[in-house]
């Protein structure tokens, strides 16, 4: 039987996805601050959730890392404003800087170590 769970815990969501669940949707809850909620569906979610809460959950660490990165990418894509410079391909150029300004010798406002 397919079960659906909603969570704001990125680690819990990644754990479910690592065990074959599917990300059904992502919602942004507007309150005093924005909170991202993941709607996850799959089989055996109840058993996986119980294992997770009891501290008996096991997961492939590499798969967990990749899944966390994917969820973070989804979060940041959803939270960014569509026309903000951070979402454009050339953020440095939009700010009037060269793309190589991230190199140490081009950081004029920071002390050198």
- The first and second tokens of residue 26, run together, are 């992502």
pLDDT value for 6? 95
**What is the rounded CA–CA span in Å between residue 33 and residue 76?**
14
Over the stretch 57-86, which tens digit does the pLDDT of each residue have?
A: 999 999 999 999 999 999 988 888 665 554
Over the stretch 79-102, which tens digit does the pLDDT of each residue have?
A: 886 655 544 444 445 555 554 445
Mean pLDDT of 11-21: 96
> 44 vs 103, which has greater pLDDT?
44
Q: Locate the domains of the chain by residue range.
A: 2-100
The packing angle between helices 61-79 and 10-18, to 10°, is: 130
């Amino acid at each position: 039987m397919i079960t659906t769970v909603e969570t704001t815990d990125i680690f819990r969501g990644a754990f479910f996805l690592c065990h074959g669940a599917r990300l059904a949707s992502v919602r942004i809850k507007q309150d005093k601050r924005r909170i991202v909620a993941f709607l996850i569906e799959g089989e055996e979610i109840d058993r996986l959730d119980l294992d997770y809460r009891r501290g008996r959950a096991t997961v492939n660490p590499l798969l967990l890392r990749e899944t966390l990165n994917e969820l973070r990418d989804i979060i940041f894509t959803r939270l960014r404003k569509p026309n903000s410079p951070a979402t454009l391909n050339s953020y440095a150029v939009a700010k009037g800087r060269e793309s190589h300004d991230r190199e140490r010798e081009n950081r004029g406002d920071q002390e050198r170590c």
